[in-house]
Amino acid sequence: MFVPTLDLRALQQQPKPAAKSQKEQPYRAWEDLYRQKWQWDKVAWGSHCVDCYPGNCPYRVYVKDGIVRWEEPAATFPTIEEGVPDMNPMGCQKGACWSQLLYAPERVLHPLRRAGARGEGKWTRISWDEALTELADAIIDAIQEAGSHCVVLEGTPAQGGMMATMALSRIINYIGGIHNDVNAVINDFSPGIYLTFGKFNPASSNDDIFHTEFLITTHANPVYTMIPSHHFVAEARYKGAETVLVAPDCSPSHIHADYYVPIRVATDAALGLGMAQVIIAENLFKADFVKEQTDLPLLIRLDTRKFLRQSDLEAGGRDDHFYFFDARTGQVVEAPRGTLDVGEIDPALEGLYRVRLADGSEVEVTPAFEILKEKLRDYEPEKASAICGINPDVIRMLARKMATKTAAIFSGGTSFKYYHADLQVRAYLLVMGLTGNWGKKGTGPIEWSTGSFDGPFLFAAKSRSGVEETQQVLSIRAEMIAQLKAEDPSLTEEMAAIELAARSMPNQSMTPPVFFWYYQCGYQDNWNRREWNDPSMRRTFDEYMNEALSKGWWEGVARPTDQAPTRVYIECGGNTLRRTRGGQVQLLKHLWPKAKKIVTIDWRMNTTGLYSDLFLPAAHHYEKVTFHIPTPHLLNLTFSDRAVDPPDEALPEYEIARRLAEKITERARDRGFGEYVDANGLPRDLSSLYDAFTIGGEFVDSERVAEEWVQDTTAVGTLPKGTTLDTLRQKGYIRFTDWGLSPISLNQASDLKPDETHAAFRWHTEKKIPYPTLTRRAQFYIDHDWFLEAGEELPVHKEDPAQGGDYPFVMTSGHNRWSIHSMNIVNRIIQQTHRGRPHVVMNNDDAAARGIRDNEEVRVFNDMGYCCLPVKLSPSVRPGQVIIYNGWEPYQFREWQDAANVEPGMVKWLHLAGGYGHLRYWPLQWQPAPIDRGVRVDVKKIEADT
Ligand code: SF4
């Protein structure tokens, strides 16, 4: 604690000073101390992590005598669109006392080597040279003895921003190691959105919520998790918007909603499909939008349940050309592929037709809409109500409001984390598609996204510094895009960027972690358990995995195999033993014994650090130059400066990576080992790693790298002309002027205007530019063999399987109120605002039936494992549900056994599907991600003597 304290009693005992005139006495005793407390000799810009939705709040950081004394929200955002409130003030309670973390006892200030057994807590302080030599040798040993895929990096941009993430991955990419895709590691990937749009991340700017007339929030608790932007919801309500919270528990967000709709856990698909049924049955759907934007008018063969394709009708025809029945001419006509504009065609949505195939036979076909309509009979409001527990009249009311208003559905982070999350989200998207509620202001699915900051990605491709080299890289990219478009003239800019990303995979270390978990972490036992899976999974998980691999659906993706155990595992800021589903149960048992060197890079001792062999201390926010992950929610590049130097031996992650690169190069030369071929068959050379990392020794510190990133991003045109690092240092943040080159930001598919809020997908709805899906339309019908086999070609409701065993409670979760993940969870100031320790929230009646009183310790358990923690009683939780919010450190639990222990980390087998248009991997996209919601558990009181 560095804030001066004031002892008034001590002041009272001091002799009274002789009276002076006001002029001679500018300050007086205790007032003077108070004034001194709020003095500073330096102010810098700072910001924090990303998962606080949207994060990136620009803060002013006040420094006195080399110590950060406090911070405050800058609150300097201008108005963007006339009549729409500005973004100010962005901040939250964690940000308001972030500086306390810099001086907290859990900070690690020197490199440490484990002295006892892993997790025993015995450490030896060592020099950086010793630590990096040991790590460099471990990496070289692994490459020499087992191959470069045995070196694995996991991490998060939350700890150190872009600079930290890019630095370590630069080494891993160079040596041909494995970098686990963070979007699956943290399960922020929405398969439902990806299946429908061929991209996972439609995101509107925060202020666009102001344009909404009707907002449904589901799978989110925004008053906990969207603190900086939730005011737009309140402001929209002042303007007359109605808001709905759909949640199983009566969460704290319900008091800010006009309607609270309690739903049985994991039954959102039934609600969405019930609404869709009403919208169609009452003829409330927007037929023109459905015909133009979706695949619902495309013809389906009734004999195969597959789309009618050109290859069905013509010898040598294409598999990705599809058909309408034109109601105007009475003909089957090809759906345009290069545009969504149907021109003179009037695609029928209903009817049964006959077509003659290339082999002369005839089959019956019908629009997908007709099949959907038939399936929706199972979800008439009374039937849907029996599943989801919502009154049929409420389902009708929600449907009618969605259909008649400018409406949006914010389906939060929890919506990705259920076994059938894809079906739930697809059902909500169907409601939006039927009602024309995307691609205009105030509408749409609202999700998280990133992009626009191209500098780091251009840097990765450069072999020299400077704008000339940047232009060279840009022209090579332009040539490649032109080449792709020459191969397929119907490719849009967005599709070409995706194609480029997908084709570059053999050169990338980033990989879907599903293979790492399968081959290295023992999850295949869980994934193959039939009773923990959906009954429509007809074969074992292994059989699906083998088919996916043998058909080459994941070809070109760097991936670990069972032939080569992980030898070096580096965790940078991610705290894998806390956040990995089944963390300690799976990883300590399966991964830890394999790995010869486990390394944590972090600014604090966390649970993963406690079980590591080496701990490398990183600089904190405010102690390094970095940029936090930019998002379309904010549309600004936010700068975080080195307000103070890191204490003792802590170093910025870029500096750690640079020194590691130098040490690997040195050791490789000393050991006479440099050149090798990695598992993807690419030649590598360790002896030139340092040169490559620093681009000929020019980029030895993060300040210089940051300059280049900003310069290159400006060169692309995504920052205003003339922007430099100095501009950012003065202003703290700068609004983007365009999306840039990244496919993820192009996925927003809307013009970025300086004086308007942003709503995704306006290129699709206004310019009729196709979607990057197989059918080039928002795709609700997935005729992949596996989806047909599972009965999931259209969204349906399926019950959550009993993951973890047949137990009476369903466990849910969410970000807690007091921390972003576990970063702030032991901040002493924040801890004083709540019970300060993990707890499970449980319904009073459930607890009473088990003789459990408030704050008594219970054991939460299932077939996977257990954790012990006190109960917080609340009638807001529905009977049969328990909530353990996310973000506690395992070491805060008895025996360090935390809630992840009961999570089997199931993945849905269908998400291994590939070989089908957009169902393929590119960074952060289509891949299986583990499930942690809806796990089954039981709860038992712990008697005092146990
Ligand atoms: Fe903003 Fe996140 Fe910092 Fe809070 S923790 S002030 S939400 S950036």
Ligand 1 atom with minimal separation from the 628 CA = 8
Q: Predicted confidence band at 25 (pLDDT cuts at 50, 70, 90)?
A: low
Mutation test residue for ligand 1: of 72, 90, 629, the one with most atoms within 8 Å of CB: 90
Q: C-alpha distances in angstroms, 903 versus 522, 523, 583, 717?
A: 14, 11, 8, 45
Ligand 1 atom with minimal separation from the 228 CA = 7
Token code pair at residue 626: 């970095």
- Please give the pLDDT value at position 12: 43
Cα-Cα end-to-end distance for the chain: 37
574 C-alpha to ligand 1 centroid (Å): 18
* Ligand 1 pocket, CB under 6 A: 47-49, 52, 55-57, 90-92, 94-95, 227-228, 820
pLDDT > 90? residue 244: yes
Task: Give counts: helices (H), strands (E), the chain.
Answer: 35, 32
334 bridge partner residues: 323
| Enclosing H/E stretch for 262 | strand 259-262
- Please give the pLDDT value at position 157: 80
Check: CB of residue 109 under 8 Å from CB of residue 236: no
Q: In what order do the strands lie in the sheet with 42-46?
A: 42-46, 59-64, 67-73
Considering only CA atoms, which of 587, 569, 517 is closest in space to residue 545? 517
pLDDT > 70? residue 303: yes
pLDDT > 50? residue 3: no
Greatest alpha-carbon pair distance for the chain in Å reads 113
91 C-alpha to ligand 1 centroid (Å): 5
Q: C-alpha distances in angstroms, 104 versus 98, 108, 439, 620?
A: 10, 9, 46, 11
pLDDT tens readout for residues 313-353? 999 999 999 999 999 999 999 999 999 999 999 999 999 99
Q: Which residues contact 259 (CB under 8 A, 6 or more apart)?
A: 242, 243, 244, 245, 394
Considering only CA atoms, which of 605, 452, 449 is closest in space to residue 55? 449
Q: Predicted confidence band at 666 (pLDDT cuts at 50, 70, 90)?
A: very high
Burial pattern 46-82, b for ≥16 Cβ within 10 A else e, equals bbbbbbbbbbbbbbbbbbbeebbbbbebbeebeebbe
279 bridge partner residues: none
pLDDT tens readout for residues 767-810? 999 999 999 999 999 999 999 999 999 999 999 999 999 999 99
pLDDT tens readout for residues 248-275? 999 999 999 999 999 999 999 999 999 9
Q: In what order do the strands lie in the sheet with 636-642?
A: 623-627, 636-642, 733-735
Ligand 1 atom with minimal separation from the 56 CA = 8
Considering only CA atoms, which of 935, 731, 881 is closest in space to residue 74? 731
- Please give the pLDDT value at position 28: 67
536 C-alpha to ligand 1 centroid (Å): 42
Q: Scanning the structure block, which residue is given the tokens 């528990």?
A: 249
Q: How far apart are CA 171 and CA 662, in angstroms?
A: 10
Mean pLDDT of 600-629: 96
- Please give the pLDDT value at position 781: 98
| Enclosing H/E stretch for 537 | none
**Amino acid sitting at position 780:** F
Q: How far apart are CA 890 and CA 821, in angstroms?
A: 12
Q: How far apart are CA 745 and CA 777, in angstroms?
A: 19
pLDDT tens readout for residues 534-558? 999 999 999 999 999 999 999 989 8
Q: How far apart are CA 88 and CA 75, in angstroms?
A: 5
Q: How far apart are CA 33 and CA 41, in angstroms?
A: 16
Mutation test residue for ligand 1: of 818, 820, 823, the one with most atoms within 8 Å of CB: 820
The region of weakest confidence among 150-164, 722-736, 825-839, 849-863 is: 150-164
Q: Predicted confidence band at 506 (pLDDT cuts at 50, 70, 90)?
A: confident
Check: CB of residue 243 under 8 Å from CB of residue 258: yes
Mean pLDDT (the chain) is 94
Mind giving me the DSSP string for 157-179?
HHHHHHHHHHHHHHHHHHHT-EE
Coil vs helix vs strand at 518: helix
- Please give the pLDDT value at position 393: 98
731 C-alpha to ligand 1 centroid (Å): 18
